[in-house]
Amino acid sequence: MTLWPSGFVAVYRREMRAWFTTPLAYIFLAAFAFAAPAFAFNIGRFFDTNRADLAPLFAYLPWLLMILMPALAMRAWAEERDRGTLEILLSLPVSLPSVALAKFAAAWTVAGAALVSTFPMWVAVNYLGSPDNLAIAIAYFGAFLLAGGYLAIGQGLSAASGSQVTAFVLSVLAALLLTMAGLPLVTETLSGSAPAFVVEGLAYSSVLERYSAFERGVVGVADLLYFLLLIAFGVTAGGLQIGASREAGR
């Protein structure tokens, strides 16, 4: 563990180079910069609200992140297997936790850059009126945590998958389950057949339930811990899966 700092930085730089020396990151950022305002303007009817805030953007971000974050996460470990570089990476004098955390941090950096690409909308609402900028900043922070949660789960599934396509599909399904768990449609459907504690547990585990507080401009300790634990779980699960594969000689 004494090599953790230098090892983390080295792998992080490697991952960032992998993103930005190919068109991958640029395509992703361009797609996000186009899709996020499109959701807000067309589906969220941004101009019809007659309010100087970004509520339409933040309302639809979870559904956009649910698709785009698995696209970022799928390459974390599955691509290393596809290219035959996983064994080389694991043979370096870098601890496995450092590798797993650096891979996550690099992808989270790209996700953060994608959110930054929507800042012109923030500038626009300040030009059009006087929004609560602190509430908007908190909502962006919540969206960043939400993106991290989806990424971490996706990278954990990437470690357990044999291909990037499989990792993407499984990650989207996992994100969909986490997103829809607390919706009234789901809880009301289950309330007649499942015990109350199961229904309450599903609602409690929903990322939408936790994200909604940030969306309102409120930082709750329980909500913050939820996302941090979700991230820790996904990153740790991915590292343990790779470690088990290495021990098994695969």
pLDDT band at 149 (very low <50, low <70, confident <90, very high): very high
Nearest to 210 by CA among 198, 196, 221, 197: 221
Q: What φ, ψ does residue 163 adopt, rounded to 5°?
A: -150, 160
Most distant pair of Cα atoms in the chain: their distance: 61
Nearest to 89 by CA among 7, 163, 5: 7
What are the tokens at 130?
């006087």
Question: What is the spatial distance between Cα 110 and Cα 32, in angstroms, rounded to a whole number?
Answer: 11
pLDDT band at 1 (very low <50, low <70, confident <90, very high): very low
pLDDT at 234: 93
- Number of domains making up the chain: 1
The continuous run of DSSP H or E covering 104 comes out as helix 96-116
pLDDT at 124: 84
Mean pLDDT of 79-88: 80
Give the other-Cβ count within 10 Å of 67's Cβ: 15
pLDDT at 185: 65
Contacts of 83 (CB under 8 A, 6+ apart): none
Mean pLDDT of 24-46: 79
- Looking at per-residue pLDDT, the higher value among 46 and 128 belongs to 128
Tell me the residue type at 31.
A
pLDDT at 3: 44
User: Is residue 49 within 8 Å of residue 43, measured between CB atoms?
Assistant: no
Check residue 93 and report its DSSP letter: S
Q: What φ, ψ does residue 114 adopt, rounded to 5°?
A: -65, -40
With tokens 């940030």, the residue in question is 214
How much is the pTM?
Answer: 0.87
Nearest to 19 by CA among 65, 86, 11: 11
Question: What is the spatial distance between Cα 243 and Cα 239, in angstroms, rounded to a whole number?
Answer: 6
What are the tokens at 2?
């004494």
On the question of pLDDT at 201 being above 60, the answer is yes
DSSP 201-233: HHHHH-HHHHHHHHHTT---HHHHHHHHHHHHH
Q: Return the SS3 of 240.
A: helix
Mean pLDDT check: name the lowest of 22-31, 34-43, 221-230. Answer: 34-43
Mean pLDDT of 137-141: 95
On the question of pLDDT at 32 being above 70, the answer is yes
pLDDT at 171: 92
pLDDT at 2: 42
Q: Return the SS3 of 161.
A: coil
CA angle 11/98/104 to nearest 5° reads 70
Residue range of the domain that includes 129: 4-247
Question: What is the spatial distance between Cα 195 and Cα 190, in angstroms, rounded to a whole number?
Answer: 8
